[in-house]
Structure 1
Amino acid sequence: MKKLALASLLLATTAVSAHTLFILPSHFVASKTGTWVSADVSAGNMTFAVDKGVSPDNVRLVNPQGQVETIAHKYQGKRKSQVDVELTQEGTYRLEMAGPARYFTAYKVNGERKRLMADKESRAKELPANATDVVTMQNRNRSMAFITVNKPSNKVLELTNQGLEFKSSVHPADIVAGEPVTFTFLVDGKPAAGVELDVSTEGERYRDEAGRIEFKTDATGQFSYTPSKAGAFLIEAHYSNKAATAKADQQNEGLTLTLEATLP
């Protein structure tokens, strides 16, 4: 039974990871407190195209004071899930879907590939005696969007120095079409070179070309992007590092940001 449950979990994880997990709010800026905002949560293989509904129980609303608020209204559908949130304070909120780091150990037995859910500290008691090519990976993915009521604030943008994070030269509420924004990506608090980035805009299914732009961060962890038009856009960031830690041989981090460029 335990093996069957593990196989089902890994199968579900693989199915979702083949798509991009995103949060898309109905509004990115509101002019007064008490405003309600709906947000779609889904995983799709085109930008903001809903495909697989995911559990809204993993969505958190962080208020401008940095406190997690209860989300009273949630819905899970087959192609998308939805949350409705009331914004009762001035400042910037963060909507996020994030979980703890997960650890997978891959190995071979007589040439056959296998894996189990265990980190380096716990894998020894579960690995077969004849296991070879043993590698433990730390995987973590997060998806975020930001909503500002009346005036921008910065508490929800503060770094935790854990995993893949970002800083921006422009507040998310102040991104304007035609004006450059410089993003800095950090891993465990340090600027990370070579983070792979994919930037795309809504309406992909209605274009002959996907219109995706690929970047990599430079030696200082930075890249610059100028939105060509107003509207929502998506940044998908991926980072892998083979430097060993106490719990893993390889660190894999993913961060998806939904942002909006306003009209000039």
Structure 2
Amino acid sequence: MLKKAVLLLSSLFLSSSLQAHTLWLVPSHYVLSKPNSWIAVDASAANMTFVPDKGISLNALKLYSPDGSSKAIKDVYQGKRKSMADVQLAGDGSYRLELANPPRFMTLYELNGERKRLMADKQQRAAQLPAGATNVETVKSRSRSFAYITVNAPTDTVLTLQGEGLEISSSTHPADVVAQEALQFVFNINGKPQQHVKGVLSYAGELYRNAAERIEFITDSDGVFRFVPEQAGRYLIEASYSADIASAQADKVRESITYSFEVALP
């Protein structure tokens, strides 16, 4: 059973909007002691945490090395229920696996009482919108899924915020997360802590529990979500943020992120 965070937790009941398929990455190992080891990575879009449902494209899967460099992962396979990748970690330090698709622009509008859409930003939509279109709004959306793996000594380079979109930071290194010890996550938008980010925390084993035992949360005024993992295992955070913006390309921005991590035995 997870301990509630000391935060603005409204309810533990899952809203319908958060029951849609969630995309996640799960490495076979989060901590390793042998350099040049291989790990297997599972990825899926699913309703239950870490229970695969739909295979997804891994063409955008990247590995960020301890020195900050990145490379595309080529050994991938997309199956019906899940996708898989084989990844070799060359040396000591912390790595980041990330599946990040480029931003997408979608323009929504009404025509003759029907809601329609087209894939175009504000600059492109002018030439594509039909005559008589009303209630026009363009949304910039982006999603990212990631996990950290550490070989021997933890390092911090891959933990550095990129300063773009929705990101998660923490005062506890991912390799040092231990059951029954408090955790604090900061959710950032464009490099700055952001309040009112909505999220859900879940952990492995939902298939074998009568209750999912998920926790809904909203970040506080410092962009923080706190909780104490009472048991070891694999956990998942899924979070999203949307806001009106004034830009040449969009009227609204929507960001989503999923982060899988491991909690070690105390």
In 1, Cα distance between the equivalents of 2:49 and 2:169?
A: 23
* 1:135 maps to which of 131, 134, 137: 137
Are residue 96 (structure 1) and residue 98 (structure 2) matched?
A: yes
Which amino acid is the alignment partner of residue 104 of structure 1?
A: M
Aligned to 1:9: none
Match of 2:16? Answer: none
User: What amino acid maps onto 2:152 in structure 1?
Assistant: N
Which one scores higher on RCO, CA 8 angstroms, separation ≥ 6? Answer: 2
| Residue deviations 1:210-251 (CA, integer Å, cap 9, x gap) | 110011100111111211100100000110112332211111
**1-structure distance, mates of 2:68, 2:248:** 30
Match of 2:80 in 1: 78
Partner of 1:162: 164
Structure in which a larger fraction of residues adopt helix: 1
The DSSP-based 3-state class of the residue aligned with 2:123 is: coil
Trace 1:1-264 onto structure 2 (pairs within 5 A): 18-264=20-266
1:7 aligns with: none
- Give 2:15's aligned residue: none
CA distance in 1, matches of 2:82, 2:246: 37
Query: Quick one: distance in 2 between partners of 1:246 and 1:188?
Result: 18
Give the Å deviation of 1:161: 1.0
Counterpart secondary structure, 1:193: coil
Q: Percent identity?
A: 52
Large movers: runs of 4+ above 3 Å: none
Moved more, 68-77 or 104-113: 68-77
Cα root mean square deviation, aligned = 1.2
Task: Write the deviation string for residues 93-115 of structure 1: whole angstroms up to 9, x where unpaired.
Answer: 11111011101000011111110
Residues in 1 aligned to 2:256 and 2:100: alpha-carbon distance in whole angstroms: 10
- Residue 202 of structure 2 contacts residue 213 of structure 2 at CA under 8 Å; is this kept in 1? yes
Question: How many Å separate the matches in 2 of 1:193 and 1:244?
Answer: 19
Using the alignment, how far apart are the partners of 1:188 and 1:70 within structure 2? 24
Kindly provide the CA deviation profile for residues 187-212 of structure 1, in whole angstroms up to 9, marking residues without a partner as x.
11121110001000001011111110
3-state SS of 2:105 partner: strand
Query: Match of 1:65, as an amino acid?
Result: D
SS at match of 2:158: helix
Distance (Å, rounded) in 2 between the aligned partners of 1:133 and 1:56: 35
Aligned-partner Cα distance in 2 for 1:32–1:125: 56
Contact 2:111 2:134 in 1 (8 A): yes
Q: Which secondary structure state, in structure 2, belongs to the residue aligned with residue 41 of structure 1?
A: strand
Give me the whole-angstrom Cα distance separating, in 1, the residues matched to 2:95 and 2:197: 26
Alignment length, in residue pairs? 248
Look up the SS of the partner of 2:265 in the other structure.
coil
Give how far 1:74 is off: 1.5
SS at match of 1:248: coil
Query: Please, what TM-score do these two structures have when normalized by structure 2?
Result: 0.91
Q: CA deviation at 1:70?
A: 4.2
2:61·2:72 contact (CA, 8 Å) conserved in 1?
A: no
Structure 2 contact 57–78 (Cα < 8 Å) conserved: yes
